[in-house]
Chain A
Amino acid sequence: MQKLFKYVRESQIWKSVFRHGYPDTPRNRTLAVLSNVFLHLHPVKVRRSGIRLSYTWCMGGLTFFLFLILTLTGLLLMFYYRPTADRAYEDIFALREHVPIGVMREMHRWGAHLMVISVWLHMYRVFLTGSYKPPREFNWNVGVILLVLTLLLSFTGYLLPWDQLAVWAITVGTNMARATPLLGHEGPLASALSFGGIDFIHAGDDVRFGLLAGRFVGEGALLRFYVLHCVGFPLIAATLMAVHFWRVRKDGGISGPL
């Protein structure tokens, strides 16, 4: 057995992948982190205080991991889902009826709920440890935008099952947009944008219409939310996550006393 391990370890294939020995010496531990693009997100050494679970709560990492779970399960769900008013509900229903012990939709749904919670708790921890203070002001702002994006991802995903819960939750949620000052047809000052008796802001062109591609939650809204949910927001979130992690490194490393 030992011999076999040794043989594999010394083969050209193994060595082409791992360019360092077993990480039990300072040199190899450094190389293990530096030569791996994923581990390279981390510095080689970290403050002992910063990685204590009772200090960090692990919520930021968990949020990122949930994002990965949701990307993977979401990708699989996309194979079985057509975002049209007459297909969407049937496809989700079929997923439940025809797949024994199918857990992809469950993982996606429960994971999405949890991601909202974990991102809140991450913000809570960062606030309580004062980790938004200089030099981390900018990264706190990136984090706030990521928090909003998490909610938007969840909100757009909420509509996709196309059942009563989905459609009416989105209806209630987007009804608020009607009341946007100036730009919503039931908002303050909307009537100020009226010239010679012609309303420039009405139910057919206000903010809510733009969000839903219609006057109510219909097929246009479904497609719009689907594209934003599967492509638009994840791309923006992934980009900002890269910025977020990068700035953690650049702005003094993981949180801890300066």
Chain B
Amino acid sequence: MLSTLASMLPATLAAPLAGGGGGPVDDGPVAAAIKHAANWLTEPTRYSVASILALIGVLYFRRFFAKVWVVTAFFVFSTAFFVFAFQDPNFNSIITKPDNVPIIILFATVVFFSWLSLRRAVINDERTKRGEPTLEGELAKQKVFTWPDLVYSELICIVLFTAAMLVWSILITAPIEEPAATARTPNPSKAPWYFLGLQELLVYFDPWIAGVILPSFIIVGLCAIPYIDTNPKGNGYYTFEERPFAISFFWVGFLLFWVSFVILGTFLRGPNWSFFGPFEYWDLHKLEPMVNVDLATWVWVDMLDKPRPIDPFVREAPGIVLMVGYFLVLPPLLGKTVMRKMVADMGMIRFNVFMHLFLWFVLIPIKMGLRWTVNLKYFIGMPEYFFNV
């Protein structure tokens, strides 16, 4: 039965694109209300704000969220929602795409492992407070033979994993679409799924930032982590209270800006990279109003009531001043005032490297927030030099 289901998948997938399936669905009032709420809540602005609030909430009330029944309830609820949503043709057509199965796995494993790490961190922090050794510390003194203790568990993992891979591979056939045609651009055109977080950032930044600068800084930033983080605590065991900033920062960076944006890009971005709720029909003609305004227009036209100057450097002076201030004046200013202790702890070089990476990271939520609230397009908009920030 499952293999017939699998063979039907390409058809269900192609249907909404061909304009056949999908479209409005006749639901009862409760189902319609749930779907409406889900569509409303997943709109990118609310999705991002709600995710940030959820992350802060989970970390702050970590003692509650580390309980076993909480994560069980979450997974039961998610499964129930999934079963409910599966009935909807629009949701079904995107979720049953064979290549999207890994995204579901990504979601489930990331949630589970985040919970697991949080649970162990909470237990360890409580133990440390009571003056007891951590879970890991207690066992670390004991050494066991690699054969059989480690080799056997590796073997069991390999066997179970191979079996699961075989079952998955037999049940779901790897898809192949129509042959390549450089003249026919599919809509939407998406990058491979693991780059969809970066493609999502293209909504807010130009390709040279979202596609070149930010990925480079992610790699450089990851490499720099062990040299920037001078906190000697938390080496080899789970903890939150001994390194609250590091853990929170990584949660926001990895869970929110990477994993959750991959999920957003896969399931909620349709033709023309327009946003579509999980129960919304992927309408090719959905238009989003283009009302974004450059900072230059704002300053010259709206505030000073003048035409935009011709010379790009004069025109963009406000944005250039702002960016120079942000990247070059802000770090020493903070270092001299509120972050003086940090500079003393880390040293000048570490502090400056950290601040610049951090400011690039923070620029993302700043730009997103300004886009949502005041429709800002660019701080600096110089299409003459392909230089838009």
Residues of A within 8 A of B120 (CB): 54-55
Which segment, of A5-13, A117-125, A233-241, faces chain B?
A: A117-125
Chain B interface helix/strand/loop/mixed: helix
Contact A163 B140 (CB under 8 A): no
Contact B226 A163 (CB under 8 A): no
Contact A162 B179 (CB under 8 A): yes
Contact A164 B169 (CB under 8 A): no
* Smallest beta-carbon distance B148→chain A, Å: 7
Contact A51 B190 (CB under 8 A): no
Closest to B102 in A: A113
Contact B139 A48 (CB under 8 A): yes
Question: Does chain A have a CB within 8 A of B321?
Answer: no
Contact B208 A50 (CB under 8 A): no
Residues of A within 8 A of B52 (CB): none
Question: Does chain B have a CB within 8 A of A227?
Answer: no
Question: Does chain A have a CB within 8 A of B288?
Answer: no
Given contacts A62-B161, A129-B237, A164-B186, contact A49 B135 (CB under 8 A): yes
Closest to B133 in A: A257
Q: Which residues of B contact A (CB under 8 A)?
A: 99, 101-102, 105-106, 109-110, 113, 116-117, 120-121, 134-140, 142-151, 153-154, 157-158, 161-162, 165-166, 168-170, 172-182, 184-186, 189-195, 198-199, 206-208, 210-213, 219, 222-223, 225-227, 229, 231-239, 243, 246-247, 250, 254, 258-259, 385-387
Residues of B within 8 A of A42 (CB): 146, 150-151
A-B contact pairs, 17 of them (CB 8 A): A32-B147, A39-B147, A48-B139, A48-B143, A48-B144, A51-B144, A55-B135, A65-B161, A108-B174, A110-B172, A121-B109, A128-B247, A140-B225, A168-B189, A176-B210, A216-B182, A257-B236
Distance between Cα atoms of A139 and B210 in the complex (Å): 28
Contact A106 B180 (CB under 8 A): no
Closest to B157 in A: A58
Pick the contact of A176 from B211, B226, B237, B250 — CB < 8 Å? B211
Contact B235 A179 (CB under 8 A): no
* Smallest beta-carbon distance B157→chain A, Å: 6
Q: Which residues of A contact B (CB under 8 A)?
A: 23, 26, 29-30, 32-33, 39, 42-55, 57-58, 61-62, 65, 69, 85, 89, 92-93, 96, 101, 103, 105-111, 113-114, 116-117, 120-121, 123-125, 127-134, 136-137, 140-141, 144, 147-148, 151, 154-155, 158, 161-169, 171-173, 175-181, 184, 186-191, 216-218, 255-258
Pick the contact of A33 from B139, B140, B146, B198 — CB < 8 Å? B146
Pick the contact of A125 from B117, B195, B387 — CB < 8 Å? B117
Contact A43 B208 (CB under 8 A): no
User: Which 5 residue pairs of A and B lie closest in terms of their CB atoms, listed nearest first?
Assistant: A176-B211, A106-B169, A49-B139, A179-B207, A137-B226
Distance between Cα atoms of A51 and B70 in the complex (Å): 26
Residues of B within 8 A of A136 (CB): 226
Distance between Cα atoms of A95 and B113 in the complex (Å): 37
Pick the contact of A190 from B246, B247, B386 — CB < 8 Å? B386
Pick the contact of A29 from B139, B148, B181 — CB < 8 Å? B148
Contact A141 B223 (CB under 8 A): yes
* Smallest beta-carbon distance A150→chain B, Å: 9
Residues of B within 8 A of A105 (CB): 174
Given contacts A103-B170, A114-B102, A169-B190, contact A128 B117 (CB under 8 A): yes
Residues of A within 8 A of B106 (CB): 117, 120
Residues of A within 8 A of B176 (CB): 89, 92-93, 96, 161, 163
Residues of B within 8 A of A45 (CB): 143-146
Distance between Cα atoms of A66 and B179 in the complex (Å): 28
